[in-house]
């Protein structure tokens, strides 16, 4: 164990943090860690010797947890473990591979956690892509500041890959698997995972309301991580078209607010022309195509309102479009395609990102592609049918 000087700590006695590397000491102070018994006993013995006795060590660090640890091989809070390491002046990274469990109560949240966690890990691109599409982060209403993680998919292949990527980055994570509306839902209860995804820039809450862009770590990461992010969002949200030529399309929606004058125009001229679509969940959406909306608002002399709607593209979709162009040289276009009124009386605007023309579609196929086998196969068949692929590609 390597000793460190007080220069490696900031003036408040806290460990200096790296922006893209998560260590055990970056977790919440209340989080409980379970270490290998021989390791924690050795640390407490060193502390006891330095303080003069175990009771003096407890007084000095203002905690009686050390008695329980020696007696029952119990867990130690991050706060008290940091205090102990500071007192001993031992490099905290020494413990990264010594942590057996992160646990809350009797349930193990993460077994053999993989510290340090690197946000630049290319597999983080896949996970963040899924969380910004069919997955989400959300605050538990019954627990203060606890972020839950959820991913929904109707393909077992995507569920398996999501779980494999979670394990590769975090360790053996405890999760619940549920079935709802013909989809498999993976729910990760520990806030450790949610907090780390939040730190990487994933949106916490309803993406269509918050209207935020790509997680910042994707912009800073490698080309491979960017590729994985784009592959994941197309796996979840994208589809392949073949008329008149192969193309790819990905759609996203956002809620939009209007002032009272704009609402009156929409209520009088637009809502009566909306068609209602019902869903198996029991909710419904009223919808009008953007082509019809243009005609109605121009006739109603509401061109300013029309411009506002046409410019209301999701920030996330706009940044994804730019990522395709700048990093992979895949030209694409974004369009507002429909205007909707939800069952909660919120106005929603749907936009699509479309990749057309031989060069761009082939670039997507070869440089990014779908990780979902059936979608990549469908894309290959579409390209082959137009003889856009070399034989055997």
Q: For residue 21, which phi and psi values (nearest 5 degrees)?
A: -125, 125
pLDDT at 374: 96
Question: Among 4-8, 70-74, 88-92, 377-381, where is mean pLDDT lowest?
Answer: 4-8
Mean pLDDT of 384-388: 92
211-216: long-range pairs with CB below 8 Å, 24+: 211/254, 211/255, 211/314, 211/315, 211/316, 212/315, 212/316, 213/315, 213/316, 213/318, 213/319, 214/132, 214/316, 214/319, 214/320, 214/323, 215/128, 215/132
Burial tier of 244 (Cβ tally within 10 Å: 0-12, 13-18, 19+): exposed
Peptide bond into 244 cis (omega under 30): yes
pLDDT in tens, 115-148: 999 999 999 999 999 999 999 999 998 888 899 9
Instruction: Indicate the SS3 state at residue 212.
Output: coil
Question: Among 2-16, 50-64, 284-298, where is mean pLDDT lowest?
Answer: 2-16
**CA 261 to CA 84: how far, in whole Å?**
63
Give the rounded distance of the alpha carbon of 179 from its chain centre.
21
Whole-number Cα distances in Å, 359 to 272, 367, 388: 43, 12, 9
pLDDT at 68: 77
Mean pLDDT of 261-265: 96
pLDDT in tens, 271-326: 999 998 876 666 778 999 999 999 999 999 999 999 999 999 999 999 999 999 99
Could you tell me what percent of the chain has a pLDDT over 90? Answer: 77
| Torsion on CA atoms 31, 36, 39, 45, rounded to nearest 10 | 80
pTM of the model: 0.91
**CA 149 to CA 151: how far, in whole Å?**
7
Among candidates 166, 162, 218, 165, which has minimal Cα distance to 192?
166
Q: Looking at the predicted structure, is the pLDDT value of residue 4 above 50?
A: no
Mean pLDDT of 31-37: 91
Answer whether 111's CB lies under 8 Å from 125's CB: no
198 token code pair: 């939040």
Question: Among 102-111, 293-302, 343-352, where is mean pLDDT lowest?
Answer: 102-111
**CA 50 to CA 87: how far, in whole Å?**
9
Answer whether 348's CB lies under 8 Å from 133's CB: no
């Amino acid at each position: 164990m390597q000793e460190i000087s007080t220069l490696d700590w900031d003036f408040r006695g806290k460990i200096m943090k790296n922006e893209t590397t998560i260590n055990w000491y970056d977790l919440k102070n209340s989080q409980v860690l379970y270490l290998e018994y021989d390791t924690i006993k050795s640390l407490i013995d060193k502390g006891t010797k330095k303080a003069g006795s175990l009771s003096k060590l407890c007084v000095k660090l203002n905690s009686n947890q050390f008695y329980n640890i020696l007696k029952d091989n119990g867990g130690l809070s991050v706060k008290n473990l940091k205090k102990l390491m500071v007192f001993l002046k031992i490099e905290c990274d020494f413990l990264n591979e010594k942590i057996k469990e992160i646990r809350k109560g009797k349930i193990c949240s993460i077994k053999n956690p993989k510290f340090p966690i690197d946000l630049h890990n290319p597999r983080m691109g896949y996970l963040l892509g899924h969380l910004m599409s069919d997955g989400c982060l959300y605050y538990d209403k019954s627990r203060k500041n606890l972020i839950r993680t959820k991913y929904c998919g109707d393909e077992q292949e995507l569920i398996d890959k999501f779980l494999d990527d979670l394990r590769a980055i975090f360790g053996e994570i405890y999760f619940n698997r549920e079935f709802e509306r013909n989809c498999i839902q993976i729910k990760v209860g520990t806030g450790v995972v949610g907090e780390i995804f939040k730190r990487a820039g994933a949106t916490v809450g309803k993406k269509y309301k918050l209207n935020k862009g790509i997680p910042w770590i994707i912009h800073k990461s490698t080309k491979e991580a960017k590729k994985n992010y784009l592959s994941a969002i197309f796996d979840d949200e994208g589809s392949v078209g073949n008329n008149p030529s192969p193309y790819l399309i990905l759609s996203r929606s956002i809620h939009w607010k209007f002032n009272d004058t704009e609402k009156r125009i929409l209520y009088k001229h637009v809502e009566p022309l909306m068609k209602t679509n019902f869903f198996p969940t029991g909710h419904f959406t009223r919808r009008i195509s953007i082509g019809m909306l243009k005609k109605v608002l121009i006739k109603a002399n509401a061109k300013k309102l029309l411009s506002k709607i046409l410019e209301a593209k999701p920030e996330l979709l706009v940044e994804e479009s730019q990522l395709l162009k700048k990093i992979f040289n895949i030209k694409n276009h974004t369009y507002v395609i429909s205007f909707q009124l939800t069952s909660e009386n919120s106005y929603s605007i749907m936009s699509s990102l479309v990749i057309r023309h031989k060069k761009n579609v082939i670039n997507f196929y070869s440089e990014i592609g779908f990780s979902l086998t059936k979608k990549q196969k469908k894309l290959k068949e579409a390209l082959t049918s137009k003889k856009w692929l070399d034989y055997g590609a």
